[in-house]
Amino acid sequence: MMRSLFTSMVVTCAAATANLEPAAQPAAVHEFERRYTDAQIHNTSSSTACAKVHVIVDRATGEPPSQGVIGTLATIIATRIPGTTVEWVDYPAVLVPYDQSTNTGITMTKDSITSYADKCPNAKIVMLGYSQGAQVVGDVLCGGGGALGLGPYTDPLEENYVKRIAAAVQMGDPRFVPGMPWDRGTAVTGGIFPRQPNQTCERVASILVSYCDANDPFCAVPGFDYNVHATYDIRYNEDAFNFVEGKINGSTTGKKGDSTRQSPRSSASLLALAMLFVFSSVL
């Protein structure tokens, strides 16, 4: 299987910290690959019939065209809620050029939502996104672009289509805003690409949940532990499923996350990751 850039970034951090913890990071790499592989077994987007629930997935940076690791949550939803189909958005999901990748993701995700909503007026739509994919989910719902490295502003999804979305889940959003009612996790700082004042997500507060933990290099700067960013599905899939199930059933569920803070690795990890994002932002 093609090794993704998302996973390769773990290797970069592992090399930077090899003298400190020679065994910890490689184990994380192998576990991430296993979860990625397991996530690919359920993809029912080829179905032409209208589903009760339709899940639209935006994968993380560098993952091959697929559901990616967030597909583990999609699989749980499809397994536990009968009549669910899953579709992954075939956007670039690349680090460079990042702005073009996210903007393409925004356009393609909007197209997936509007086309399915028009075809299946009774279906409930669920959005899932991890890392860059989480940013795409937020930008679709709340407006995109407008920050260094993100390109021009993009409009949020039209209100008549927002009403068709039952739930939206973000994990490790680079545009995470701390202190919002839809936040879950231990993060108290914001993401690497701050959301602009005219891109607030209050209008979708009732359907949105965003997971971010302290020490995440992308959603909780200045974080420096990549393992935090790469393992949201392990910590929060059950909580996220409860949230989605409750929204599909018309109730409010989803408990505040209780993950423990991850211990810091070293400043070398932060430097390696920061250089990647700075590089992408100036191109």
pLDDT digits (tens, 9 = 90+) for 37-76: 444 444 555 557 899 999 999 999 999 888 999 999 999 9
Which residues are bridge partners to 56 per DSSP?
87, 127
Q: Do residues 139 and 145 make contact, with C-beta atoms less than 8 angstroms apart?
A: yes
Closest alpha carbon to 55 in 140, 113, 138: 113
pLDDT at 251: 67
Structure tokens at 131: 């890392």
Encode pLDDT of 227-250 as tens digits.
Answer: 999 999 999 999 999 999 999 998
The predicted model scores a pTM of 0.78
For residue 84, pLDDT beyond 90:
yes
Q: Where are the domains of the chain?
A: 5-282
Buried b (16+ CB within 10 A) or exposed e, 60-94: bbbbeebbbbbbbbbbbbbeebeebbbbbbebbbb
User: Is the model more confident about 96 or about 19?
Assistant: 96
Domain 5-282 has CATH 3.40.50.1820: yes
